[in-house]
């Protein structure tokens, strides 16, 4: 498969129309149609359902769209990396991060780095640790900011000297919201929203101890904002780390810390044994200096 043909395919998937896609690509409609037919023959799969006024993707087409987006993104990123010169530090750095207050320390470090190298542009991706690690492995992200617990055996890393405190977000008028802290006994029969990551669920189960098998888990979440809305609407209590969501007039909730305390750290990770661009190499030096890796 050629990158050019994958870009043609993505244009058709986006426009849902051969004529519009051909216009956006500045090629003729017969040329585009021929390229798509050859792609289907190459993959031995039907990628499109061709209607009178609209083209839609088959299941195979949707799979190719996900893979093509990753391949094209990686190709474009690689081309930009080779355009960077050693004597002029510029280019792009891709950073993935989970929800963590430690991002404040990362941002301060990046601000100092940006003062020295103002020509560098940054791209931020927010998601779960597993999503970020997958993107690092595929070369789509250069650097990850991950909340522990997380398996970092295959990465180089620096640990940020900051501990995140776990707690629950509770409806502002609930009895739990009026407490200074919340215990396992307070939550054992309550409806709970817990993080989606299995390794974090294990940590929460350990905090509950022997009672963890009796928990009333009604939902999992990966980012706290939407979970906070569910909490405000009376769906239950959501586990999260402190200082990520303070509540608002529209989402009246309060964070209550756990007791016994449950704390976790944050690490910055990047690939081992990797040849980096000049920009990324300088940033790794800055990370090591700042966080004493």
More confident residue, 99 or 255: 255
Q: For 3-82, which CATH class?
A: mainly alpha
Which token pair is 195?
């993080």
Residue 68's pLDDT band (boundaries 50, 70, 90)? very high
CATH no. for 89-161+265-291: 3.40.190.10
- In the chain, pLDDT over 70 holds for what percent of residues? 97
Nearest to 193 by CA among 127, 263, 253, 125: 253
Q: Is 3.40.190.10 the CATH number for 163-264? A: yes
Q: What is the mean pLDDT of the chain?
A: 91
Residue 238: pLDDT over 90:
yes
Residue located via tokens 């088959």: 58
**Mean pLDDT throughout 45-58?**
88
Which token pair is 165?
């405190």
**Sheet strands (E) in the chain:** 48-50, 55-57, 91-97, 120-126, 143-147, 155-171, 191-195, 216-221, 237-241, 253-257, 263-271
Model pLDDT, residue 142: 96
pLDDT digits (tens, 9 = 90+) for 91-137: 899 999 988 999 999 999 999 999 999 989 999 999 888 899 999 99
Model pLDDT, residue 227: 96
Residue 50's pLDDT band (boundaries 50, 70, 90)? confident
CA distance 122 to 179: 41
pLDDT digits (tens, 9 = 90+) for 183-234: 999 999 999 999 999 999 999 999 999 888 889 999 999 889 999 999 999 9
Buried b (16+ CB within 10 A) or exposed e, 196-213: ebeebbebbeebbeeebe
CA distance 24 to 18: 10
**Sheet strands (E) in 91-187:** 91-97, 120-126, 143-147, 155-171
CA distance 289 to 181: 37
Q: Which pTM value belongs to this model?
A: 0.68
Q: Are 118 and 288 in contact (CB under 8 A)?
A: no
- The alpha carbon of residue 141 and the mean position of all alpha carbons in its chain are separated, in whole angstroms, by 10
Q: Are 97 and 110 in contact (CB under 8 A)?
A: no
**Mean pLDDT throughout 136-151?**
92
Q: Is it true that 89-161+265-291 and 163-264 share their CATH fold?
A: yes
Q: Which residues contact 26 (CB under 8 A, 6 or more apart)?
A: none
For the chain, the domains span: 3-82, 89-161+265-291, 163-264
Residue 53's pLDDT band (boundaries 50, 70, 90)? confident
Question: Rounded to whole angstroms, what are the CA distances from 88 to 93, 118, 259, 275, 279?
Answer: 15, 11, 52, 18, 9
């Amino acid at each position: 498969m050629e990158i050019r043909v994958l870009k043609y395919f993505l244009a058709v998937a986006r426009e849902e129309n051969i004529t519009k896609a051909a216009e956006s690509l500045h090629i003729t409609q017969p040329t585009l149609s021929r390229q798509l037919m050859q792609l289907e023959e190459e993959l031995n799969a039907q990628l499109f359902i061709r209607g009178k006024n609209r083209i839609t993707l088959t299941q195979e087409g949707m799979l190719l769209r996900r893979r093509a987006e990753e391949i094209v993104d990686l190709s474009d990123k690689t081309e930009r990396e080779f355009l960077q010169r050693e004597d002029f530090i510029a280019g792009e750095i891709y950073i993935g991060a989970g929800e963590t207050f430690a991002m404040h320390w990362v941002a301060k470090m990046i601000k100092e780095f940006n003062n020295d190298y103002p020509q560098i542009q940054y791209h931020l991706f927010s998601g779960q640790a597993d999503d970020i690690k997958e993107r690092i492995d595929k070369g789509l992200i250069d650097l990850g900011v991950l909340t522990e617990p997380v398996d970092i055996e295959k990465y180089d890393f620096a640990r940020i000297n900051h501990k995140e405190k776990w707690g629950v977000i509770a409806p502002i008028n609930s009895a739990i919201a009026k407490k200074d802290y919340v215990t396992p006994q307070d939550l054992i029969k309550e409806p709970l929203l817990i993080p989606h990551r299995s390794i974090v669920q294990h940590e929460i189960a350990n905090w509950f101890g022997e009672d963890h098998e009796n928990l009333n888990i009604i939902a999992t979440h990966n980012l706290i904002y939407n979970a906070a809305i569910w909490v405000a609407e009376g769906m239950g209590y959501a586990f999260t780390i402190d200082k990520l969501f303070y509540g608002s007039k529209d989402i009246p909730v309060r964070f209550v810390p756990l007791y016994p305390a449950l704390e976790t750290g944050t690490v910055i990770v990047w690939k081992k044994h990797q040849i980096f661009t000049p920009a990324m190499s300088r940033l790794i030096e800055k990370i090591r200096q700042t966080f004493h890796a």
